[in-house]
Structure 1
Amino acid sequence: MKLVVQVKLQPDALRATAFERTLPAVNAAANWVSAVSYERFALKGSVRELRKLCYGGLKADGFGAQAAQHIIKRVADAYTTLRANIRAGNLGPETSKRRRKAESKPIVFRLHAAHTYDDRCLSWNYDAQTVSIWTLDGRVKNVRFACSPNALKQLTEHRKGESDLVFRDGKWFLIATIDVPDPETYEPRDFIGVDRGIVNLATTSDGDNHQGRRLGRYRRWQARKRAEIQAKKTRSSVQLLAKRSRREGRHATHVNHKVSKTVVAVAQRTGRGVALEELQGIRERVTVPRDQRARLSSWPFHQLGAFIEYKARRSGVPFVEVDPAYTSQRCPRCGHIERGNRRTRDHFHCRRCGLAGPADYVAGVNVRNRARSAWVFVNMPDPAPA
């Protein structure tokens, strides 16, 4: 299982100057390669073709062989991802404004966008907690880094692959990839169904409810502050808005980590698995009132599901995703499905058998019941050959 570990670099003034010169130059070079790729091949450039056109120019600008190769590969990967998103419909149909905008110009990399290093451009000394890294000013050695003891242990035992140099809020970070072996998954005695929502972030089939009221107040307060800052329309207000956006994102990530950690810990302690609704394309399927659109679009439901999934895999807890159709309208006792079973957001009342209860809890029970069937089906032995 691939995860990432973030460490904070602690360069002195001379080394920091080398970083500050290198990262913008690398991204400017990536923008040049991207423009060449778009002009010659539109969205279909490959690494081999770009290498023929751009490698010599990058070398002439002072980039080493490996740095030039990384820049070219990074641009080619960006166009590959864009083509994949277009084919998957993630940018809408051909007539959509978002897709036409993406197809009408070359990909642009931000001035301080992260840049990728492999083991030929970046080496680690775990005992001394230092790194040696390539820059335009030459190889910069003995740059100290700081991280937790657990993160250092993971780096020492499982680091594998590339690392990204990141500049954020005036600080330098390295984000390293680690490859942790998957533990053996046990046979679950049952499942915990989890229903995700806006008012209640996560409600389990056990009746545990992770409410979002406090978070909702925090986000409404942030929205009011954003409106006040936007009204000023100054350069400093734009910077302050970006800073507040990152802070709110970190807060949402922290909340999702806490919720996912609790759900997986309960499942592991009781020998059960975790089941979620598959919410792929929820923004296209769900229609909400105008005043709730921002809340639906901005809260990272996918992130919460991804956190639960990777924490479950890391702990050996079985994890399944089930069909979300009618989980909030189906009665778990008699199976009756009707929109009238859930007349309000908070309450469920079956019009056939009279079963009543909190709507999110009922949805969690339906997710759990579907996970039971899905697990049996997935683990069914293959039929004997005729």
Structure 2
Amino acid sequence: MKTTMSTSTNPIVKNTVYSILFAISFGHLLNDLMQAVIPSIYPLLKDNFRLSFAQVGLITLVFQLSASILQPFVGHYTDRKPSPQSLAVGMGFTLLGLLSLSLAPSFALILCSVALVGIGSSVFHPEASRVAQLASGGKKGLAQSIFQVGGNAGSAIGPLLAALIVIPHGQDYIRWFCLFAILGMCILSVVGRWYQRHMPVKVVGGKQVKETVGAVALSRSKIVTSILILLVLIFSKYFYMASMTSYFTFYLMEKFHVSVQESQIYLFAFLAAVAIGTILGGPLGDRYGRKLIIWISILGAAPFTLLLPHVGLFLTVVLAMIIGVIISSAFSAILVYATDLVPGKVGTIAGLFFGFAFGMGGIGSALLGWLADHTSISYVFQVCAYLPLIGIVTGFLPNIKGK
């Protein structure tokens, strides 16, 4: 029996579609904004339900597990069966979670609510990363950076809005964040329709199958080893980032006796630098090679992290901003490098790396908090200063050029 193969009428994207990239980035902003509300209202929930710190930790655990562990499985499923509607479905889970959280009368229902929000994130990220690559027109690093910076912005805006809307008025006002979920569902439905029209497929023997790009010429063991090295680099980056995002304000207050307000301004300066680095990392990787950017992003931050615990306030803030720009440029390069290693598995790879990053951020924050309780915040920063040296393992990555 003769098998025929012909290209389908579905158009493959040749040029960078910035409207879709900015739309999916805005969806990422809304997703991470709503996620950021949960830890921001911990003091409110603790008082309302007389929770212990262990129970607050359990809320974090349930939320992080549902937001991280499920992502690789969702990504693997959507690699086999692409699902454009899953973008809006993910926002639907988040909508249900926030509405449930605003009405939750018990600790058990709080856990169920945050799990729904985490599931929404797990459904959103893998397929959204695939859309970003599809709309990239070949500029995959740039596309991933645009997508990623939306999440960074949402993570920064969420706590601010929670402080303005929920904390002064109470748990019921969480429901107002459902409007963001509805807006996200509307935008992502439009993106999903574009994705449906532009999914690259071929018609083989009358059946539609996904079209994949050629794999890199590496053995299976070399690819697996490279993925493990990239995960080690993610561990290094997100453990260090956990020390900055969770404890930088406490470090400044303890060592330099600045006020809470001043420390928040300095933290904002660091987060602004992170946003700049996120934007730069992707296109620089496209231009100069992703392995080089990974080298610079992880190992290149080491001189500045090692110096930071030993300088005055002004240089501490300057070094923090330099570190923010350098180290935040890594994720886009790492993720695109990994998808070049395993073509056709964007969902699985994105789910694995986003999930691992979320998990490492949560675990890092908890472990560093425990270490700070038993030593000091200054000691934590002295220890974390050595984490970027792990970037030396980048030398074991193969030199590849993604297609």
TM-score scaled by length of structure 1: 0.29
Q: TM-score, normalised by structure 2?
A: 0.28
- The structure that has the greater radius of gyration is 1
The higher-RCO structure (CA 8 Å, 6+ apart) is 2
Could you say which structure has the higher helix fraction? 2
